[in-house]
Structure 1
């Protein structure tokens, strides 16, 4: 990563890719991002097949592809992550176990009346929602968008969880909430009594 102040020009994906012309046997993937609000840029470059078990700072520019070895990722962007982006993430990381999201931008296509393709997370066991818009809590708790196969560990701000579940009464977030086995709440004041019924398998 580099700050804007240290950049004399802003190289593109094509510029970065041309620096790997000597790599004959392995395909090289490069992904360049610039964040105007934070005033810094980053570049991911890796050869295929990707062999690491983690992948950090994934943005909307993520090119996709199948990365079977990755089990832990974190997502960050100053642009919203739409439902289609999460479909790509699920397809690219089929053995994903731990997911962290940092994004405060509201989704543009979040419509409760819209019909979405339900995303199946077959291996996910840890979900960290840090500094996110409520839309991303809904993205994973609404059963009209996401199906959680496993019991998970969820980290989230308490007031956000309360809003998204409509004070632990919302039916469309009830199923995925029932898959929460461990719950880490930030800014916790006092849990209402009804939360115990909403998270029946919570330890």
Structure 2
């Protein structure tokens, strides 16, 4: 291909390694691209012990990607100016600083799903100090769809507590189990989740409906429901 000027790729490869003895490292993977002299090939590999499963990401020119699946704590924090859809997964906790990196690396993010059953570690430390002054409030200005069906309550708090995340007004559709939402909002009475819940444009509660007494907690949701009936 003598006229080829640039070769762009994104490879996401997974394998179960239950009986595999040798597990390649990031350095092993990088070495296979040693002939890419003028380009920066970025790679990292995750080994999940509970599955057991390994996942390897390899990409060139990250600015051209439109989506990024299975972002973990090992994510290197590269800037992706075109990615609009991501999924987050790990067997280790996601701390607040991780979500700050996500917001910085994906500035036009629109669709986000999260799967992580492990509670945050630093949350307990911050609560013991009763100090949120070191927190940077994270902004996702273009977010329109958020899925938290398989998320620990700590991550639901991460997105709904207004001292942690600032959601855009009347823009986000939230997919979540009713029991989770009820629990995190303290039966729709909790003040620190009220502001972000009031900004939600719509909800999918896995087949459940909001009770009438909770609809004032989601005024934008109530407006959309009424407008659909008119």
Q: Output the TM-score relative to the length of structure 1.
A: 0.95
Provide the C-alpha distance between the structure 2 equivalents of 1:89 and 1:197, rounded to a whole number of angstroms.
31
Structural mapping, 1:108-147, within 5 Å: 108-110=121-123, 111-112=126-127, 113-115=130-132, 116-147=135-166
Q: CA deviation at 1:11?
A: 1.0
**Residue matched to 1:65:** 78
If each structure's helix is expressed as a fraction of its own residues, which one has the higher value? 2
- Matched length: 202
Matches within 5 A, 1:137-176: 137-150=156-169, 151-176=171-196
Work out which of the residue numbers 95, 100, 103 in structure 2 matches 1:90.
103
> Residues 15-34 of structure 1 correspond to what in structure 2 (within 5 A)?
15-34=28-47
Structure number with the higher strand fraction is 1
CA drift at 1:149: 1.9
- Partner of 2:3 in structure 1? none
Gaps of 5+ in 2: 1-13, 225-230
1:194 Cα deviation after fit: 2.2
Distance 2:62 2:90 in 1: 25
- TM-score under structure 2 normalisation? 0.84
8 Å contact from structure 1 (residues 26, 49) kept in 2: no
Q: How far off is 1:179 after superposition?
A: 1.2
Matched, 1:12 2:25: yes
1:104–1:131 Cα contact (<8 Å) kept: yes
Equivalent residue for 1:184?
Answer: 204
- 5+ residue gaps in structure 1? none
Question: Which residue of the partner structure matches residue 213 of structure 2?
Answer: 194
CA distance in structure 2 between the partners assigned to 1:31 and 1:62 by the alignment: 7
Are 1:3 and 2:31 counterparts? no
Alpha-carbon contact 1:159-1:187 (below 8 Å) kept: no
Q: Distance in 1 between matches of 2:81 and 2:218?
A: 32
Q: Kindly tell me: are residues 125 and 21 of structure 1, through their superposed partners in 2, closer, same or farther at Cα, counting changes over 3 Å? A: same
Q: Are the counterparts in 2 of residues 64 and 89 from structure 1 also a CA contact under 8 Å? A: yes
Measured on the aligned residues, the alpha-carbon RMSD in Å equals 1.3
